[in-house]
Amino acid sequence: MIKVGDALPDTTLMEYSEVEGNGCSIGPNPVKVRDAAKGKTIALFALPGAFTPTCSAKHVPGFIEKFNDLKSAGVDEIWCVSVNDAFVMGAWARDQKTAGKVRMLADGSGDFAKAAGLTLDLTGKGMGLRSNRYSMLVKDGKVASLNVEAPGKFEVSDAQTLLAQAKG
């Protein structure tokens, strides 16, 4: 499993763009993780799936609510990563109203989750291999703090915990 001090996995995530600009076309666009994280402080959180109860009711809304506080604490970007395709993440972004606050990044094949060693096998629940629920503070592409949830829990990967770590 990835740990504090490690570099983020050298993988590519996908992001659905609603508007064209900055070299991005409408629709799914690749985000090379290491390039996108270079020189930035990122509040990254990952979760098992878009539109799932805890993720939609608590996890994403918490980061939207703490957006200004995280920015004030030195966070440049907030990333939400899930093992879903870019179209689903784009629809979820619209539903959660994340525009301009949280980048909704698709890990469609679970490559990022696998490379980080943070997968969760939900095959028994009909969801296949997913990402574990966690958050991490990333500075210049390296993990500065990591908060991994126990299965079925939502206690340490929330926005408030990451905000305290960003301020620390």
The residue annotated as part of the active site, out of 55, 60, 89, 106, is 55
Question: How far is CA 143 from each of CA 45, 76, 100, 152, rounded to the nearest angstrom?
Answer: 12, 15, 23, 24
Closest residue by Cα to residue 55 from 14, 1, 17, 93:
93
Q: Active-site residue 55, yes or no? A: yes
Task: Return the active site residues.
Answer: 55
